[in-house]
Copies of this chain bind each other. A is one copy, B any other.
Amino acid sequence: MIIVLRSGATSEEVDDVCRRIEAMGYRPHTIRGELRTVIGAVGDDRGKERLRALESLECVENVQPILQPFKLASREVKSEPTIVEVDGIAIGGRRLAIMAGPCSVESREQMFEVAAKVKAAGANVLRGGAFKPRTSPYAFQGLEEEGLKLLKEASRETGLPVVTEVMEPEKVDVVAEHSDILQIGARNVQNFSLLRRVAETRKPVLLKRGMSTSIQEWLLSAEYVLSGGNPNVILCERGIRTFETATRFTLDLNAVPVLKRLTHLPVVVDPSHGTGHWEYVESMAMAAIAAGADGLIIEVHPRPAEALSDGPQSLKPERFAQVMARVRRVALALDREA
């Protein structure tokens, strides 16, 4: 941390700040500039957050962090990329992880039809929502346990492992039992009780970015899982909230190279939620791979106009197959496989 003092701070004030820094277990290092005095606090990072409280002193202009606050998620602690193994698929490896399926599990028929078709088109993980976080209490809330069972059956039928969302600590066990990857949705990225609970399962976790979560905060949420003893975290960029309304969210592909620099965790991209419109999914899926993502998660529905959720952004299976063909070409150009 760097503590910037106000201009005109007295030497008593400088001494007071230094004493407080020492009392918190850090070594103060003072730089007297022409206009201001700046004090660096050197020492173990673990609790540096507390130094921020110095900003409440009248003589302190502001307190600026210098280092990234996450550890286990950082490249500094682990420089080689993490590969999350799911049922024989190495997420983060040379081959892309392609997760596809409907927004919501709606029926056995729908689920089996989609599962077979996305597999044929090249998907290697099946997605589907059984517990649905819906903005409105009047919207379809998912088939819940019944949906989990249908997912599991479709998984057995096709051999594809399953990723599905869990929304509350009490449901972690039942969801874990019926799935291979636990998805933490955007609205729960800072549901810390839930993060601690999924850490305990040791199952792979797909951690979506919140719609207004900074990359740093997102990695701190990953840190909750990692420090809880579960190293199997997959990050998923799914769009942030900005002023632009031409897309439902603003898919932030910049996050891909930024994450590749900061962390060893694998990164997948969700162009369906990120754009909110089926016509934009293909372009952004290809762009995500070109940006260096390790995979995609895409919504596919046999009859989007009748979908109970997310119809506007769902691809028909045939369209998904076309997208896959083009994604494959981009992947090859970058020496990856899909």
Check if A120 is an interface residue, CB within 8 A of chain B: no
**A199-239 vs B, Cβ < 8 Å mask (1 yes, 0 no):** 00000000000111011110011011001100000000000
Contacts of A169 in B (CB 8 A): 168-170
Q: Is the CB of A283 within 8 A of B277?
A: no
Check if A179 is an interface residue, CB within 8 A of chain B: no
Check if A96 is an interface residue, CB within 8 A of chain B: no
Partner of A63 from the list B257, B274, B312 (CB cut-off 8 Å) is: B312
Q: Is the CB of A53 within 8 A of B306?
A: yes
Contacts of A250 in B (CB 8 A): 240, 242, 250, 252, 254
Q: Is the CB of B54 within 8 A of A305?
A: yes
Check if A123 is an interface residue, CB within 8 A of chain B: no
Residues 255 to 296 of chain A near chain B (Cβ within 8 Å)? 255-258, 260-261, 274-275, 277-280, 282-284, 286-292
- Identify the closest chain B residue to A223 (Cβ): B137
- Identify the closest chain B residue to A63 (Cβ): B312
Q: Is the CB of A215 within 8 A of B244?
A: yes
Taking the closest CB of chain B, its distance from the CB of A64, in whole angstroms, is: 6
Contacts of A10 in B (CB 8 A): none
Q: Is the CB of A220 within 8 A of B136?
A: yes
Q: What separation, in Å, do the CA atoms of A34 and B43 have in the docked complex?
A: 6
Q: Is the CB of A287 within 8 A of B253?
A: yes
Partner of A244 from the list B168, B170, B252 (CB cut-off 8 Å) is: B252
Contacts of A29 in B (CB 8 A): 31
State the interface size on chain A (CB cutoff 8 A). 116
**A180-213 vs B, Cβ < 8 Å mask (1 yes, 0 no):** 0000000110111110000000000000001110
Q: Is the CB of A312 within 8 A of B55?
A: yes
Contacts of A334 in B (CB 8 A): 286, 326, 329-330
Q: Is the CB of A275 within 8 A of B254?
A: yes
Contacts of A45 in B (CB 8 A): 35
Residues 286 to 338 of chain A near chain B (Cβ within 8 Å)? 286-292, 304-308, 311-314, 326, 329-330, 332-334
Q: Is the CB of B217 within 8 A of A67?
A: no
Q: Which residues of A contact B (CB under 8 A)?
A: 2, 4, 7, 20, 29, 31-36, 38, 40, 42-47, 49-50, 52-57, 63-64, 66-67, 69-70, 76, 133-140, 167-170, 187-188, 190-194, 210-212, 214-217, 220-221, 223-224, 227-228, 240-247, 250-258, 260-261, 274-275, 277-280, 282-284, 286-292, 304-308, 311-314, 326, 329-330, 332-334
3 A-B pairs with least C-beta separation: A53-B311, A212-B212, A56-B304
